[in-house]
Structure 1
Amino acid sequence: MLTDWLHEWWTKLYFVLLRPMLKWLLRHVTGKCELLRITYEESDRVSRTKRIESSLNYSSSVDVRRCATDSDYDISESVSNLMKLKDVVPEVHTQFEPTLKDSLLRIRAYNKILKEAEALRTTKYDAENKAHEKQLTELWSLYKSDVPLPQRVGPHWQELGFQGHDPKTDFRGMGMLGLQQLTFFAVNYPESAVRVFSQSHHPQYGFSFAIVAINITGMGFELLRKRKLRPHFYSSEKAEPDLTDFHHVYCYLLHDFTQFWLSEKPKDIMEFSRLHNKFLKQVKQKLKSDSPTLRAAFQEDSS
């Protein structure tokens, strides 16, 4: 309790008093605002974008903070306003405008991906929705192309790794995001998806494919929500990644978790929680590395 209190006290002291004083001092010593200093100091795109995001987040201006938290605003207008607010002369600091714009594009894109993923996650599977039913039927045909769907409800769904006779109950936690990502994997990487599905039926180390796949959707969403995926998206060659790029991350996670699971040779499915956490730790370490892109070899081959 004392440690928590001291941490909270120090945090308030730093952001309310010390940080503004430090910014004021550096501004007068260097003649540059914090954003301008960051663009000069950081050559690495990920570090630069994260520092710019942090600077915007801790601004006393609501309009400035909005650039770090919103998913729908005019980038050019915001860059122009920030340059005026910070007294940055474009003719003197020629790289500031394009650098700041690049970072804002990535920050805004990340926020948009999170917003859209959350919307899908909170959309419940509705058996009365024809689009939902069509996608579920497509899911079967993608993974069981040699076997026609016997009927809408039945024990055959357990062959795909669902728990019961009606898959809709297993999508409760991740909503339509879980179904969309399972489908996305098979549509975009059919060979790899079918291979992973086949590996899930390993006679000794097999697992319930659909249940694990939905769990991996949860893993990816938590990484996204906690902003752990920023290094992946901020280092991308695409200045504005979108929800599709998040789905590609899911494909990487599901594929590599399956290979990790098999390599660990678990005694039974009761080891899932331990191996899930071990794999997640490895993913987080990769995101902190110099090569934070979550992309598997099979994805490189198909690009």
Structure 2
Amino acid sequence: MKAATNPARESEGNGRMKAATNPVRGDELRSPPPSSKSRFSNSIASSDYTSDVSPKWIMRGLSCVWIKPKRIYERVFTNLTSLQEARLKGLRHRMSIEFDPKLNDHQEALRSLWNASYPNEELHGLISEQWKQMGWQGKDPSTDFRGAGFISLENLLFFAKTFSVSFQSLLNKQCGKRASWEYPFAVAGLNITFMIMQMLDLDSSKPSTFVRPVLIQMLAGDEEAFDLLYCVAFMILDKKWLKKNASYMQFNEILRSTRAQLERELLLDDVLRIENMPSFRLLMQEPHELQCRDDKCAKPLFSFFFLYINTSM
């Protein structure tokens, strides 16, 4: 099992911070279709290009990445280095691993997530009503992974250990004016993982946008780029949720908007690492900047939610 977090990263993250699903009605809390796309101001309309999430051309250290106007000739070439190929292979392998409740390392990862989430509360078992307070569908979280796989648990654990202040803020719904019916934290996390997997589209023979080659380049510099992107995505989603004063029926809309913002930020010219993304600063806010509250936090109605991963995204 891939280590859930890097000690050096954890120390850096915590030190600096000192200072797929449906709700009640059946189809709202699920991964959205690929309808959200970011646009760049180019001299030629975005419809002239293979994808309107891609600028006219980008050179990010890849051996060769370019695109010509769709009306003339459309193609994307990427020549990966051996390191990029290795990191891409590793990420694909992680994405292919299903959660198996019988495997000791998968069981241990669940326990580690609980301990990182509720360090002062003893877990009574891997099947327990306690899991509902984290935002799982029922008392057995292993039934919720499905299409998101083991990597979604790794993502949650990475977030909990690397950016504990931000993680706790989202987990406990401490910041801002919360809705009466909140999104369930853990299940939302699985949807975020699945959304990013679909955005990268690693199973296709060639990328439909520049997002995939950009992330591959980032992986060459930081093996945890995918996990970091997940943390940024979770913070963006919650910020948009609060700004819209959203309720559970609007989860898909918020998730689509989150994906669109990720695409826009990843394709900015000066974003060469996840840490360069404008929204990365959300993870590094001081506790007082989060404007958290300790009482009257809205509680999600966990019993009305169940996991659904929409593979048509």
Q: TM-score, normalised by structure 1?
A: 0.60
Question: Structure 2 regions of 5+ residues with no counterpart?
Answer: 1-56, 68-76, 287-313
Aligned partners of 2:126 and 2:99: how far apart in 1?
14
* Counterpart for residue 229 of structure 2: 249
Alignment of 1:65-84 (within 5 A): 68=79, 73=82
Q: Which runs of 4+ in 1 moved over 6 A?
A: none
**Change in CA separation of 1:115 and 1:166 when aligned onto 2, cut-off 3 Å:** same
Tell me if 1:284 matches 2:268: no
Aligned partners of 2:199 and 2:87: how far apart in 1?
12
How far 1:254 moved relative to its partner? Answer: 0.9
* Counterpart for residue 195 of structure 2: 219
- Does structure 1 retain, via aligned residues, the 8 Å contact 2:233–2:258? no
How far 1:299 moved relative to its partner? Answer: 4.5
Aligned partners of 1:112 and 1:192: how far apart in 2?
31
Aligned partners of 1:299 and 1:287: how far apart in 2?
16
How far 1:164 moved relative to its partner? Answer: 1.8
Percent of matched pairs sharing the same residue: 22
The higher relative CO (CA closer than 8 Å, separation ≥ 6) is in 2
* Counterpart for residue 184 of structure 2: 208
Tell me if 1:228 matches 2:211: yes
How far 1:223 moved relative to its partner? Answer: 2.6
Q: For residue 254 of structure 1, give the secondary structure of its aligned residue in structure 2.
A: helix
Alignment of 1:144-155 (within 5 A): 144-155=118-129
Alignment of 1:53-64 (within 5 A): 53=65
Tell me if 1:275 matches 2:286: no
Aligned to 2:113, which of 113, 129, 139?
139
Q: Which one has a larger percent helix, Structure 1 or Structure 2?
A: 1
Could you give the per-residue CA deviations for residues 6-44 of structure 1, whole angstroms, max 9, x where no partner exists?
xxxxxxxxxxxxxxxxxxxxxxxxxxxxxxxxxxxxxxx
**Change in CA separation of 1:263 and 1:113 when aligned onto 2, cut-off 3 Å:** farther
Could you give the per-residue CA deviations for residues 159-208 of structure 1, whole angstroms, max 9, x where no partner exists?
11111221111112121100001000111111111111122894536210
Tell me if 1:186 matches 2:186: no
Aligned partners of 2:134 and 2:128: how far apart in 1?
12
**Change in CA separation of 1:216 and 1:127 when aligned onto 2, cut-off 3 Å:** same
Could you give the per-residue CA deviations for residues 187-242 of structure 1, whole angstroms, max 9, x where no partner exists?
111111111112289453621000111111112222333551444664x6x8x324
Q: For residue 243 of structure 1, give the secondary structure of its aligned residue in structure 2.
A: coil
Aligned partners of 1:281 and 1:245: how far apart in 2?
18
Aligned partners of 1:279 and 1:221: how far apart in 2?
14
Letter in 2 for 1:68: N
- Does structure 1 retain, via aligned residues, the 8 Å contact 2:87–2:223? yes
- Does structure 2 retain, via aligned residues, the 8 Å contact 1:228–1:287? yes
Aligned partners of 1:177 and 1:200: how far apart in 2?
26
- Bigger radius of gyration: 1
